[in-house]
Structure 1
């Protein structure tokens, strides 16, 4: 079986690997589309909890042996701890993630727990199915912010998560959505998808700011741009440094919320949303070209915003 394998810091390679062993309670999924995530680009360039050799890929959809078309929810929680009982299985202390802790979707086939499968709605394309996972992140962040219809929304970063946050906010009734990114091509995409402004740097004041980058500088900016009493939602994982003015946060009675992944309801909502979206920002590539595409994006490429590998 062919797979894209993280083999060493800064290196991914196409390799022949063993067929997956399907354990009790698992299902074999023949992968039809698997998205490259920014966290994977960062994780290969600066290794941490992803340990090579590893077949990554946590954003994927495919077919089962019995012909079902499915999208995989890669978060595997314990299901019986206090956090899971609160309905917060995305932050289960014992969670594992397909493509991080177990082999993932950058392969022709992968074995996953049967409970991780979501049936695809009739007529949903494989391209749309391949971006459900990142869109679910945006749905979750919007929900954490209170789904504030009528809000002025600022978004830092026009990668896949930032664009998804923009689309979710627009569909959720935000009064104004402005997106910032350093890359002109990504600003153009954000504007084409309906953002009211797409700029290199946000100015003014917002009710909600989504930080889809996650550096010390964007953390700081997300708070500096908030109105008193506003909410910053941090989704980006680029830097562990906080970088913000804590005293200003207190005086402005502002909120900072961390947003990690999604709940089951968010995943289901994303599955319904993406079918009607303009996905011109998503590019598809043969799995065999995966090493080239991944390396170009890892080294600073900005096009496409979201790359899907197709076995």
Structure 2
């Protein structure tokens, strides 16, 4: 059943549409969509945009913002005690146009957040979110106004960081360090040019190794026996491997399967992937500005 507040919000939008349709109207809407569901917010925002000669709309709803072109959006922020307005620049080439898809996929839903952390791997966000949700006595990153964003490799991290900076976010880059001899330091330096700060995993670590490193042998065997049974990972003879080879084998299985969050939830409550937790906590600290970087974690 629709609430009275939703009825009132729809009626207010309908009244604005009626007036706007008369021509020459300048319409100003504050906190648009707060009482609307996602579909109604997007639909009515689009109708207003197309009906008015001029429309000024403030909203905390990413669904309403979808009705506007990227260059029509202005994000307001308060950084270092100063109010600022940020407006996107139209894409200059196909590469910028391609990364612009992240605006609707990830950045618009983060619009009301203060800071974002752009991680290099596709599964970093799923794994770190699972860790933050299963921990007790520690607020989730969203409680601090921090949103996690995923990418596909260090090159896309750079592009998304640039895009997010245009919108006035405090931007942190979270990088792997699994291939130290293949341009990792260049990527680390480049990220510092486009992000407010950077955190990187220890040398020879990607998110998968950070999740399994230091986990007791029996806990790894139990978790991956369960994953193998339910997801048919093709893992055999894990109990025959020494500890080092076991960690490498299951990390590779995680990378291939994408079952990062499922693995985290299978760990018993007292067993913690400490390297991944350090990565998570340092990223949030940098996003909040309670510490400074750049930081490369160490064991």
Decide which structure has the larger Cα Rg and report it. 2
- Give the TM-score, by structure 2 length: 0.25
Tell me which protein shows more helix as a share of its residues: 2
User: TM-score, length-normalised on structure 1?
Assistant: 0.25
Higher RCO (CA < 8 A, seq sep 6+): 1
